[in-house]
Amino acid sequence: MKKIYGIIGDPIAHSLSPVMHNAVFEKLGLDAIYLAFRVSKDELGDAIRGAKSLGISGLSVTIPLKEKALSFVDAEEVAKKIGAINTIDFSSGTPVAYNTDGIGSLRVLKETVSEIKGKKVLILGAGGAAKAISFYLDAEGARVTIANRTKERAALLASNLRNANSIGLDTDTLTKRIEDSDILINATSVGMHPHEDATLVNADMMHPDLVVFDVVYNPMETKLLKEAKRAGVKKIVDGVKMLVYQGAASFRIWTKEEPPIDVMEKAVRDVLIQD
């Protein structure tokens, strides 16, 4: 029987996960389909219970459900510590949840810089993506600073890490901290379609040796990345690779098979180039 996978979130029409996973099912000849389901926070419990009853094999979970979903699943230890999930596996009968966002971002950064340990990393945002990314970087020995609009949320996230601190988002504070940082990561939704002209950091706040990584992947080249180019930044990373690596980690959990990364990346980039 055809296996059914999907992604739940709200809004969901923008998601490229269906195109990415369906390309893999086709390439590997698996009898499976991956669909997008718009689910509000209020309907989340019913949706997860319904998915289990309907025999759905696996779900991805996205904005704004990643934190609340923890209440309806058995979560793996790391996902519990992060405080957010993005993957549910139904193969054991009960829904078991994981967080693969941090794994995806860490793989991207390990391909970009020689050593994470000791690097000064400034993360913009304190939401689901920031929590997952900061957890893995902190565990690798990076010196993480969380910068968030609501300072209390930044402080709370930093206090849950081993070696992290927090700041607000005012330009002076940000500029000073960027001067002293090795890696800048935008883990907010600022710059995401349809607000493509927005950025929290401009060219005059960056230096050429900074690594600039934007987790936003739509558009592929965000305003932040354009500004980084203007500042002469040598290592610029868009959000597509992270999307692919977190998706690949989820795919392995669901199917126990190794997905072709190049097929996933091409499927996503092809759609984004057409936009």
Active site residues: 66
State which residue, 130 or 137, has the beta carbon closest to ligand NAD: 130
Site for ligand NAD in 177-236 (CB under 6 A): 187-190, 192, 215-217
Task: Map residues 59-88 to x or -, x wherever contact with ligand NAD holds by CB under 6 A.
Answer: ----xx-x----------------------
Residue closer to ligand NAD by CB (options 89, 214) is 214
CB of 127 to ligand NAD, least distance (A): 2
144 beta partners: 121, 164
Q: How many residues make contact with ligand NAD (CB under 6 A)?
A: 26
Nearer Cβ to ligand NAD, position 181 or 188?
Answer: 188
The residue assigned the tokens 């977190």 is: 246
Nearer to ligand NAD, 158 or 169 (CB): 169
Cα distances (angstroms) measured from residue 107 to each of 64, 140, 156, 200, 252:
24, 12, 26, 25, 15
Nearest to 3 by CA among 45, 58, 85: 58
Report whether 182 contacts 120 (CB < 8 A).
yes
Show contacts of 159-164: CB within 8 Å, 24+ apart. 160/81, 160/83, 161/134, 161/135, 162/138, 163/138, 164/134, 164/138
Span of 38-46, 74-82, 120-128, 220-228 interacting with ligand NAD by CB under 6 A: 120-128
Closest CA to 233 of 188, 183, 180: 183
- Which range in 50-58, 69-77, 121-129, 229-237 contacts ligand NAD by CB under 6 A? 121-129
**Min separation Cβ 13 and ligand NAD, Å:** 13
Instruction: Give the residues across from 183 on adjacent strands.
Output: 121, 211
**Binding status of residue 98 toward ligand NAD by CB under 6 A:** no
CA distance 190 to 184: 14
Rule CB under 6 A: is residue 102 a binding residue for ligand NAD? no
Nearer residue to ligand NAD within complex by CB, 100 or 181: 100
Does residue 145 interact with ligand NAD by CB under 6 A?
A: no
Pairing verdict, β 74-75 and 211-214 = unpaired
Binding range to ligand NAD, per CB under 6 A, among 28-36, 43-51, 124-132, 139-147: 124-132
Among the listed ranges 17-25, 37-45, 75-83, 119-127, the one in contact with ligand NAD (CB under 6 A) is: 119-127
* Of 239 and 259, CB closest to ligand NAD: 239
The count of other CB atoms within 10 Å of the CB of residue 13 is 8
- The residues binding ligand NAD (CB under 6 A) are 63-64, 66, 101, 104, 125-130, 148-149, 169, 187-190, 192, 215-217, 239, 242-243, 246
